[in-house]
Amino acid sequence: MAEIAYLLGHLSRRSGGVLPLATSLAAHSRHGVQLFGLDDGDTDLVLPEDTRAFRTLGPDRFGFAPGLFSAVQEAGPALVHNFQLWMYSSWLCQRWGQRNRSPYIVSPNGMLDAWALARSPWRKRLALHLYEARHLAGTACFHALTQAELRSIRALGLRNPVAVIPSGVEPAMDEPGPPPWSGQIPAGAPVLLYLGRLHPKKGLNELISAWRQVNAGDWHLVVAGWGPARYVRRLKQRLAPVPNASLHGPWFGSQKANALAGAEALVLPSFSEGMPQTVLEAWSHGLPVLMTRECNLNEGFDRGAAMPLDLAGQMRGLAAFLQIGEAQRREMGRAGKALVAERFHWPTVAAAIDGLYDWVLSGGPPPDFVSTD
């Protein structure tokens, strides 16, 4: 019997950073955790052996999966933790809690911020009316990744307790290999790396426009990731005539680690994020980061580990970053590494999550990271 059931959307790259977050939390928790999610045919990921994957029926965006509810019931968890909004899992989670008179936790993962809510607004209004409002109102506690996410939850009028617990990151490899762009970019040329999902919310069109206008010198912009085929084709067309810029497929595992080890800096020009794992990974490799404030990691700016990109004027932020010296970049990288060790070490994060589960299941005074205001 699983002590805690994790409800997820697609068990594939389509889930972005949500699936890696959930699998890492499950791996580091001292509670027995079982994952339940949707099978879309992508078998590229290594998941826990007892993960239950279900095929969908009907509209893919809703994710109705026959057999999923009964499977969760049969697992008999004391607590359900839902990582996906606006889908069947929200209805299932609320229904499970009601039927079993048991608590559940909801992780919005950036899905309640203003930018995300403005996408497909009619569909979300309908979902709120049919099931999502009950799901959100009924949670024993929200799990927010950042203070900004806490504010987004409160902005919707939700007064449930909110635990603010960040994601974590693994230590960098000790002996990385050559970067994936070896032989394509001159050895020793500084690389500004974008690494992750290719999607309009990531601000890549704006970044490319800014790159075309700045004097990048010897710098190379490397964009690597995955996304909808139509968007990737358009991105490739935009990048093709741009000097010192290239588009690559996704890099995972050792390729990803080698890319981070070989880059000079990471860029993330997003319009909306929950907590971007790629920034934490860059800091763990000692890289300086250029990112928007919408990445919700303002402690990086406060500690000197990152420089800001302004969504309304990316060229200014990009140009300023390319002009700083190597010594300052190294100092930023050291600040990022120290920040990761202090706040985003997995054992520290897992201890907080387990403390949240203990409190929701057993009661008592809330932990100090839980806001009840």
Q: How far apart are CA 248 and CA 366, in angstroms?
A: 46
Closest CA to 318 of 186, 208, 185, 187: 208
Question: Would you say the pTM of this structure is higher than 0.85?
Answer: yes
- Helices assigned H by DSSP within the chain: 18-28, 68-75, 88-100, 114-117, 121-127, 133-137, 147-155, 204-213, 229-239, 253-262, 277-284, 298-302, 314-323, 326-343, 346-362
Q: How far apart are CA 93 and CA 123, in angstroms?
A: 19
- Judged by DSSP in three states, 80 sits in strand
Asked whether residue 313 carries a pLDDT value surpassing 90, the answer given is: no
| Residue 176 located in a structural domain | no
Residues 41 and 141 in one domain: yes
| Residue 262 located in a structural domain | yes
Residues 261 and 321 in one domain: yes
pLDDT of residue 219: 96
**Residues 94-109, mean pLDDT to the nearest whole number:** 97
pLDDT of residue 44: 66
Residues 152 and 284 in one domain: no
Residues 10 and 159 in one domain: yes
Q: Could you tell me the CA-to-CA distances from 136 to 12, 127, 256 in Å, in that order?
A: 25, 11, 36
Domain of residue 123, residue span: 4-168+345-371
Closest CA to 64 of 95, 34, 33, 42: 95
Which range in 6-20, 48-62, 64-78 is most confidently predicted, on average pLDDT?
A: 64-78
CA dihedral 340, 225, 118, 21 (to 10 degrees): -40
**Nearest 5°: phi and psi at 99?**
-65, -40
Residues 198 and 60 in one domain: no
Closest CA to 47 of 6, 12, 88: 12
| Residue 180 located in a structural domain | no
Residues 292 and 158 in one domain: no
8 Å CB contact between 107 and 26: no
| Residue 229 located in a structural domain | yes
Residues 109 and 239 in one domain: no
Residues 125 and 60 in one domain: yes
Which residue shows structure tokens 């080698």?
A: 258
- Judged by DSSP in three states, 128 sits in helix
Asked whether residue 316 carries a pLDDT value surpassing 90, the answer given is: no
pLDDT of residue 310: 86
Beta-carbon contacts of 147 under 8 Å, excluding residues fewer than 6 positions away, are 164, 296
| Residue 40 located in a structural domain | yes
Percent of the chain with pLDDT over 90: 81
**Residues 336-353, mean pLDDT to the nearest whole number:** 94
Residues 367 and 339 in one domain: no
- In 7-36, which positions are buried (b, 16+ CB within 10 angstroms) versus exposed (e)? bbbbbbbbbbbbbebbbbbbebbebebbbb
**Residues 24-30, mean pLDDT to the nearest whole number:** 93
Residues 96 and 129 in one domain: yes
Which residue shows structure tokens 């070989």?
A: 262
Q: Indicate the pLDDT class of residue 1, thresholds 50, 70 and 90.
A: low
Residues 349 and 247 in one domain: no
Residues 243 and 361 in one domain: no
**Nearest 5°: phi and psi at 131?**
-155, -30
The number of domains in the chain is 2
| Residue 219 located in a structural domain | yes
Asked whether residue 37 carries a pLDDT value surpassing 90, the answer given is: yes
Asked whether residue 173 carries a pLDDT value surpassing 90, the answer given is: no
Asked whether residue 362 carries a pLDDT value surpassing 70, the answer given is: yes
8 Å CB contact between 5 and 102: no
**Residues 68-85, mean pLDDT to the nearest whole number:** 97
Percent of the chain with pLDDT over 70: 98
> pLDDT (tens digit, 9 = 90+) per residue, 258-292?
999 999 999 999 998 888 999 999 999 999 999 99
Q: How far apart are CA 36 and CA 9, in angstroms?
A: 8
Q: How far apart are CA 41 and CA 310, in angstroms?
A: 38
DSSP letter for 201, please.
G
| Residue 161 located in a structural domain | yes
| Residue 185 located in a structural domain | no
Q: Indicate the pLDDT class of residue 359, thresholds 50, 70 and 90.
A: very high
Closest CA to 301 of 288, 312, 314, 313: 288
Q: What is the mean pLDDT of the chain?
A: 93
8 Å CB contact between 352 and 369: yes
Structure token pair of residue 209: 């426009």
Tell me the CATH number at 54: 3.40.50.2000
DSSP H helix total and E strand total for the chain: 15, 14
